[in-house]
């Protein structure tokens, strides 16, 4: 028994972590990702690879759909395993230490986890399978030897257990099977709370339905939009604080974008700089950190080849759909949107020490204008079906990452007369 425990402790000294993030939990996710990077614990794309399930936010207590997600993920993780719930960003270290201790004891259940309802809602097990990461077969892929197919995934692994629902004419008039495939809500490098239901014929997306996970309304401002919303509520917010948040937000989006194109080293470097920005690094530190990232991304011919022509959204169509942020400015494809982010990162890193007050009229957050009836990310979600239909399935993840909608914006309902506090 002691030998077995010693072997288990050695095997899980650096546990593989599956993150399950709920809408509204960006602050907690960032704290978890920073601590995992500090410890060197790898994040994985599906339950079969995981040792530790980390549920971030209230995903496990939002009703039947959410409970089904967590329970399905938990059943898919082989023993020994543990899980933790993190709702307080200040308790991340304690929660991860507790999960590691449970693993090293060889226990199959974390004492930090909720046990109730685990066996219910089994009909969600395949529909909400977190093992549908299109990068599953490319974890060791070198960005500079890739092609569009590397952003796809093993279709055999995805469709296992999912019925072939129908037959229909494809775009060439052939009769092909129609496969209905869900993506999300738990997926590596994926907007928290987003579910896409795709109808595929062969490897071509024929239809797309966007289904955000239901989440309770929150008066707390979305993390990435917070400085601008605080300013409109009458608080003093410096232009430097807004620039720092904008810089970190776009670095967060770029980290996802690089990851889904297989450039894992670049994604890790980008997230390190994001964490330094959020930790309060001065412009004198941030600017030398972002410059090589910008140059490297701009000079990568492989990245340009992989993403040019994907998800083209002309400015006029973007305007008609209510898009107001970088996707409107880009006036083009996934590669163009990445370039807009890079430019904004460079400018905002240089401005993060500015002390003058942010003009309350300048309420343009990372995804777009915040003074419109529809949140900026709602317009991005509404644009997804047209951008995805007719594309190869392997490209879908790249297109979603190039828009990176923030579903936290959909849960925000400001309380009348409320002045938002910082922190």
Decide if 142 contacts 386 (C-beta within 8 A).
no
Q: Is residue 134 part of a domain?
A: no
pLDDT band at residue 119 using 50, 70 and 90 as cut-offs: very low
* Residue-level pLDDT at 329: 97
Q: Is residue 133 part of a domain?
A: no
* Residue-level pLDDT at 295: 97
On the question of pLDDT at 302 being above 60, the answer is: yes
- Take residue 13 and report the two structure tokens written for it: 């000294």
- Per-position DSSP letters for 398-419, written without gaps between them: HHHHHH---THHHHB-PPTTPP
Q: Is residue 419 part of a domain?
A: no
Residues 78 and 119 occupy one common structural domain: yes
State how far Cα 320 lies from the chain centre.
Answer: 26
The mean pLDDT of 265-290, rounded to a whole number, is: 97
Per the listing, tokens 């690089």 go with 258
Domain with residue 392: its CATH number is 1.10.645.10
Q: Is residue 131 part of a domain?
A: no
Residues 266 and 405 occupy one common structural domain: yes
Residues 201 and 229 occupy one common structural domain: no
Segment among 117-121, 245-249, 322-326, 329-333 with least mean pLDDT: 117-121
Residues 91 and 177 occupy one common structural domain: no
Residues 72 and 199 occupy one common structural domain: no
Q: Is residue 292 part of a domain?
A: yes
Residues 290 and 405 occupy one common structural domain: yes
Decide if 110 contacts 98 (C-beta within 8 A).
yes
**Percent share of the chain, pLDDT over 70:** 76
DSSP secondary structure code for residue 106 in this structure = T
pLDDT band at residue 10 using 50, 70 and 90 as cut-offs: low
More confidently predicted of 271 and 161: 271
pLDDT band at residue 45 using 50, 70 and 90 as cut-offs: confident
The per-residue pLDDT for range 371-382, each reduced to its tens digit, is 888 899 999 999
Q: Is residue 363 part of a domain?
A: yes
* Residue-level pLDDT at 106: 72
Q: Rounded to 5, what percent of the chain is helix, strand, coil?
A: 50, 15, 40
Q: Is residue 116 part of a domain?
A: yes
* Cα-Cα-Cα-Cα dihedral sign, residues 279, 27, 384, 267: positive
The per-residue pLDDT for range 205-257, each reduced to its tens digit, is 999 999 988 777 777 899 999 999 999 888 999 999 999 999 999 999 999 99
Note the pTM of the prediction, 2 decimals: 0.81
Residues 282 and 197 occupy one common structural domain: no
* Residue-level pLDDT at 400: 97
* Residue-level pLDDT at 58: 80
Q: What are phi and psi of 55, to 5 degrees?
A: -95, 120
Per the listing, tokens 């999912």 go with 162
Q: 172: domain range?
A: 157-212
The per-residue pLDDT for range 356-372, each reduced to its tens digit, is 999 877 789 999 999 88
H/E run at residue 55: strand 52-56
Residues 166 and 118 occupy one common structural domain: no
Residues 274 and 229 occupy one common structural domain: yes
124, 146, 175 — which closes off a domain?
Answer: 124
**C-alpha span between 399 and 327 (Å, rounded):** 11
Residues 192 and 323 occupy one common structural domain: no
pLDDT band at residue 115 using 50, 70 and 90 as cut-offs: very low
Q: Is residue 12 part of a domain?
A: yes
pLDDT band at residue 416 using 50, 70 and 90 as cut-offs: low
For 18-48, b where at least 16 C-beta lie within 10 A, e where not — what string?
bbbbbbbbbbbbbbbbbbbeeeebebbbbbe
167, 189, 212 — which closes off a domain?
Answer: 212
Segment among 127-131, 148-152, 283-287, 350-354 with least mean pLDDT: 148-152
pLDDT band at residue 384 using 50, 70 and 90 as cut-offs: very high
Mean pLDDT of the chain: 82
More confidently predicted of 335 and 158: 335
Residues 365 and 228 occupy one common structural domain: yes
Q: How many CB atoms lie within 10 A of CB 214?
A: 13
H helices present in 77-198, as ranges: 92-104, 155-159
Radius of gyration for the alpha carbons in the chain, expressed in angstroms and rounded? 21
The per-residue pLDDT for range 137-196, each reduced to its tens digit, is 333 344 433 333 333 333 223 333 333 344 455 555 555 688 999 998 989 999 999 999
**C-alpha span between 342 and 295 (Å, rounded):** 9
Decide if 423 contacts 220 (C-beta within 8 A).
no
Domain with residue 58: its CATH number is 3.40.50
DSSP secondary structure code for residue 196 in this structure = E
DSSP secondary structure code for residue 312 in this structure = -
Q: How many domains does the chain have?
A: 3
* Residue-level pLDDT at 13: 79
* Residue-level pLDDT at 315: 97
- Take residue 266 and report the two structure tokens written for it: 């670049």
Residues 75 and 186 occupy one common structural domain: no
103, 124, 145 — which closes off a domain?
Answer: 124
Instruction: List the beta bridge partners of residue 53.
Output: 18, 83
């Amino acid at each position: 028994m002691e030998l077995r425990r010693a072997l288990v402790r050695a095997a899980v000294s650096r546990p593989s972590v599956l993150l399950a993030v709920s809408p509204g939990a960006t602050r907690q996710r960032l704290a978890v990702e920073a601590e995992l990077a500090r410890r060197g614990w790898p994040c994985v794309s599906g339950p079969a690879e995981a040792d530790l399930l980390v549920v971030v936010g209230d995903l496990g207590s939002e009703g039947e759909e959410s409970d089904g997600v967590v329970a399905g993920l938990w059943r898919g993780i082989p023993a020994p395993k543990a899980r933790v719930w993190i709702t307080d960003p200040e308790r991340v270290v304690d929660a991860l230490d507790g999960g590691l201790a449970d693993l090293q004891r060889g226990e199959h259940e974390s004492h930090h986890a909720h046990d109730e309802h685990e066996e219910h809602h089994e009909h969600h097990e395949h529909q909400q399978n977190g093992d549908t990461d299109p990068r599953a077969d490319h974890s060791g892929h070198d960005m500079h030897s890739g092609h569009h197919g590397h952003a796809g995934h093993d279709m055999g692994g995805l469709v296992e257990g999912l019925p072939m629902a129908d037959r229909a004419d494809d775009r060439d008039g052939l009769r092909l099977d129609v496969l209905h495939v869900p993506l999300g809500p738990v997926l590596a490098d994926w907007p928290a709370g987003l579910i896409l239901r795709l109808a595929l014929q062969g490897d071509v997306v024929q239809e797309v339905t966007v289904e955000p996970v239901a989440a309770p309304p929150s008066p707390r401002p979305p993390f990435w939009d917070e400085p601008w919303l605080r300013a409109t509520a009458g608080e003093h917010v410096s232009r430097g604080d807004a620039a720092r948040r904008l810089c970190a937000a776009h670095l967060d989006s770029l980290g996802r974008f690089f990851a889904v194109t297989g450039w894992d080293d670049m994604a890790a470097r980008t997230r390190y700089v994001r964490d330094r920005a959020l930790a309060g690094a001065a412009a004198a530190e941030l600017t030398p950190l972002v410059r090589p990232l910008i140059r490297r991304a701009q000079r990568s011919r492989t990245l340009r080849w992989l993403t040019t022509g994907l998800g083209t959204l002309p400015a006029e169509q973007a305007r008609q759909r209510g898009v107001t942020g970088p996707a409107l400015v880009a006036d083009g494809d996934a590669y163009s949107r990445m370039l807009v982010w890079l430019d904004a990162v460079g400018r905002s890193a240089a401005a993060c020490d500015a002390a003058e007050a942010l003009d309350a009229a300048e309420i343009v957050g990372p995804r777009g204008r915040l003074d419109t009836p529809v949140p900026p990310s709602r317009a991005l979600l509404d644009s997804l079906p047209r951008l995805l239909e007719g594309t190869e399935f392997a490209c879908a993840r790249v297109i979603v990452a190039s828009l990176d909608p923030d579903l936290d914006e959909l849960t925000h309902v400001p309380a009348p007369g409320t002045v938002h506090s910082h922190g």
